[in-house]
Amino acid sequence: MSREQEALHASIYPAKAPFIAPGHTAATVTDKISEVVLRKMPRWWWVGFFASALIVLMLLNALAKLFWTGIGIWGNNIPVGWAWDITNFVWWIGIGHAGTLISAILLLLRQQWRTSINRFAEAMTLFAVACAGLYPIIHTGRPWLAYWLLPYPNSMGLWPNFRSPLIWDVFAVSTYATISALFWFVGLIPDLATLRDRSQNKAAKMIYGMLAMGWRGSARHWHNYETAYLLLAGLAAPLVISVHTVVSFDFAAGVVPGWHTTIFPPYFVAGAIFAGFAMVLTLTIPLRVAFDLHDFITERHIQNMAKVMLATGLIVAYGYVIEAFTGWYSGSHYEGFMFLNRLTGPYWFQYAMLWLCNILVPQVLWFKRVRNSTLAVFVVAMFVNVGMWLERFIIIVTSLHRDFLPSSWNMFHATRWDVMTFVGTLGLFVALIFLFIRFLPMISIFEMRTLVPEAQVKSKETE
Amino acid sequence: MATAARLYGLIAEFRSPDELVEGARRARHAGYKRMDAYTPFPIEALNEALGLHHSPMPKIVLAGGLTGCLGGFGLAYWASVIAYPMNISGKPLNSWPAFIVPTFECTVLVAGLAAVLGMLAVNGLPMPYHPVFNSKNFELASRDRYFLCIEARDKQFDREGTRQFLASLNPSEVSEVEP
């Protein structure tokens, strides 16, 4: 292109804002991100950590009571055998999905904007899966026997039923937790080496050194490392799709009206990504202010995430519409009643709030002005967090509480133990996030180095 | 000198990845084989410059994936057909479509473990001690310096000759690496 053509091109297509603020070099990126971990934490960190640690104590209290007395302390009772526990399980595991989507699928699609948020999102995945995994285990009532779910040779001569979606769930969730942890750790190895080399404190040097396992940035190592990382991403991408699909099978394979539909797998996966991006935004927006990371997590990152949230939100809306359509089109009396019951039954308020939070409010993201306002995006993300929890609650509880036999209809009322357990896992999640930002680099340092101008190697083989 | 025999190699420090890639390329053309570069981030052009072509990782991961796939299906089949045959809603004992989910999950699990453990094994990690950590400024290899080390076990290695060669590559510094 000649200079005039270039100028013309630039006037028609204005350059997009970069993913990293200008003026950064490999050195400044390294120092700025590792500084967060290596310097003393500000006072608000201690306040926040102790507040969330107190909530973790409340969780332990609720769990101790649960283990001592049994799950009768919750509001669950026939016909509503699954309630907040499974709602929370699905909600948490859905949140985890955005982390894997950002780290694996966007990596394979060569989306550079993932680089400054992937580490953080992966940590979020890991902690969300930990919170999620807790629920089915404690819901067994005798969690010390939860290992019975695993196939292992035992003196009782028993084996799990491999035709059951609940066993599929055990496989899917445990594989997901393992692969997410591995992916996260592999990504951390070079950054742990950076922290080993940067830290002045002897104990910190030793610990980071041991975790880095002697990483020295050898070109031969990078070569294998990059291949392994790409392959892991390739494995994690179908895995993340499979996990929420399998979670949806827990419902779709049942005959309960409102569960027994083929739309569930895609609708659940879209909902998971929707909820996950909302949670990533909920966490990144305050953190980038707190640690002054505007150079790395730019306006464009927030805008892109808002766009993903809008797109997946529309898929979720399609799912809701199809649910209503199926209620009518199936001609099944029970399916039709299920939908009318959601709309006008005792849980109508939660159902209305669900439409408000998940469908109506996110439509404001169509407007560029809204996407450009970090505060507005944050508010929308909070609505989605609430809405996605309500979605799982509606699917689980309204389907169960009035099924085929009116004589067995009943209402679900949460007890304070339900509330304490749920709030407790929120505290656990936040406490883990606090520990993570204290001890590990929340942005992938080595991947950020590849974004700075000096990293663009120009020379080609000349001979 | 007695230390002459006890040298791991000579290391050159560069300020930019371009200089390093050019240096590595010239070292390879000069006939050096036993050398390695140390960089703060992966540089694709270096693989070519150092003559690194094949990573064994894809094969290792494929082997892991196949093991997991066969193992996962085998587990479901063995448990449902041989060890604990149960008639569940009239389905055949070998109701293979239902076994696809555990099979898929085991495939991904074992392939993922193979990717991570295989990468560490191929790279020889964990390795708590390595001579290259003795070299000057090496802690900057994880920040913004780029190193090229020609090892003493290279056939062409000559303490003075190699030092002069490295100095001709325009590095900011050339130093000796003790073993």
How much is the pLDDT for B44?
A: 84
Chain segment A39-65, per-residue pLDDT in tens: 888 888 999 999 999 999 999 999 999
Mean pLDDT score, A363-367:
95
How much is the pLDDT for B2?
A: 43
Name, of A25-29, A38-42, A118-122, B157-161, the range with top average pLDDT: A118-122
pLDDT at A454 over 80: no
Residues B62 and B43 in one domain: no
Cut 0.80: pTM above it: yes
The domain of B152 spans 2-54+131-177
Contact status of A239 with chain B (Cβ, < 8 Å): yes
CA angle B17, B20, B26 (to 5 degrees): 145
Q: Which of B123, B140, B155 lies at the terminal end of a domain, its last residue?
A: B123
Q: B83 to chain A nearest CA, in Å?
A: 8
Contacting residues of B for A151, CB less than 8 Å apart: 75, 79
How much is the pLDDT for A10?
A: 64
How much is the pLDDT for B104?
A: 95
Contact A446 B46 (CB under 8 A): no
Q: B88 to chain A nearest CA, in Å?
A: 8
Using 50, 70 and 90 to split pLDDT, how confident is the model at A463? very low
Q: Which of B123, B150, B166 lies at the terminal end of a domain, its last residue?
A: B123
Q: For chain A, give the mean pLDDT.
A: 89
Residues B118 and B72 in one domain: yes
Q: Which of B123, B140, B166 lies at the terminal end of a domain, its last residue?
A: B123
Chain segment A391-438, per-residue pLDDT in tens: 999 999 999 999 888 999 999 999 999 999 999 999 999 999 999 988
Tally of domains within chain B: 2
Chain segment A254-283, per-residue pLDDT in tens: 888 889 888 999 999 999 999 999 999 999
What ipTM does this complex have?
0.91
**Number of cross-chain residue pairs from A and B with Cβ atoms under 8 Å apart:** 211
Residues B85 and B72 in one domain: yes
Residues B61 and B33 in one domain: no
Residues B12 and B43 in one domain: yes
**Cα-based distances in Å from A115 to A122, A244, B62, B73, B157:** 11, 24, 27, 37, 40
Coil/strand/helix, residue B9: strand
Buried b / exposed e along B137-174 (16+ C-beta atoms within 10 A) = ebebbbbbbbbbbbbbebeebeeeebbebbeebebebb
Is the bond preceding residue A79 a cis peptide, omega within 30 degrees? yes
How much is the pLDDT for A26?
A: 82
* Strand duo B35-38 + B146-151: pairing: antiparallel
How much is the pLDDT for A65?
A: 94
Q: A147 to chain B nearest CA, in Å?
A: 16
Name, of A195-199, A334-338, B111-115, the range with top average pLDDT: B111-115
Residues B62 and B118 in one domain: yes
The helix or strand, by DSSP H or E, that contains position B173, with its residue range, turns out to be strand B173-177
Q: Where are the alpha helices (DSSP H) in chain B?
A: 17-29, 44-50, 57-77, 96-123, 159-167
Using 50, 70 and 90 to split pLDDT, how confident is the model at A13? low
Mean pLDDT score, A6-22:
67
Contact B116 A228 (CB under 8 A): yes
Domain containing residue B148: CATH number: 3.30.70
Cα A193 from chain centroid (whole Å): 27
Interface test with B, best of A25, A220, A231 (most B CBs within 10 A): A231
Q: Which residues, in sequence order, are CB contacts of A57 under 8 Å at separation 6+?
A: none
Q: Which two tokens stand for residue A462?
A: 């000349």
How much is the pLDDT for A24?
A: 82
Residues B64 and B116 in one domain: yes
The helix or strand, by DSSP H or E, that contains position A243, with its residue range, turns out to be helix A219-252
CA-nearest residue of chain B to A238?
B108
Chain segment B21-68, per-residue pLDDT in tens: 888 888 888 888 888 889 988 888 888 888 888 889 999 999 999 999
Q: Which residues, in sequence order, are CB contacts of A298 under 8 Å at separation 6+?
A: A17, A18, A19, A20, A21
pLDDT at A459 over 80: no
pLDDT at A374 over 50: yes
Residue among A157, A163, A454 whose CB faces B16 most closely: A454
pLDDT at A448 over 70: yes
Residue pair A271/A319 in contact (Cβ under 8 Å)? The answer is yes
How much is the pLDDT for A14?
A: 56
Using 50, 70 and 90 to split pLDDT, how confident is the model at A34? confident
Residues B88 and B173 in one domain: no
Contact A219 B58 (CB under 8 A): no
pLDDT at A461 over 50: no
Residues B62 and B116 in one domain: yes
Chain segment A97-114, per-residue pLDDT in tens: 888 888 888 888 888 888
pLDDT at B140 over 90: no
Contact status of A179 with chain B (Cβ, < 8 Å): yes
Q: B78 to chain A nearest CA, in Å?
A: 10
How much is the pLDDT for A51?
A: 95
Residue among B45, B52, B84 whose CB faces A457 most closely: B45
Give me Rg for the CA atoms of chain B.
25
Chain segment A133-169, per-residue pLDDT in tens: 999 999 998 999 999 999 999 998 899 999 999 999 9
CA-nearest residue of chain B to A186?
B116
Residues B70 and B34 in one domain: no
Rounded Cα–Cα distance for residues A194 and A189 (Å):
9
Rounded Cα–Cα distance for residues A120 and A436 (Å):
9
Residues B8 and B41 in one domain: yes
Residue among A27, A219, A446 whose CB faces B36 most closely: A219
Coil/strand/helix, residue B7: coil
Q: Percent of chain B beyond pLDDT 90?
A: 35
How much is the pLDDT for A2?
A: 65
Residues B10 and B21 in one domain: yes
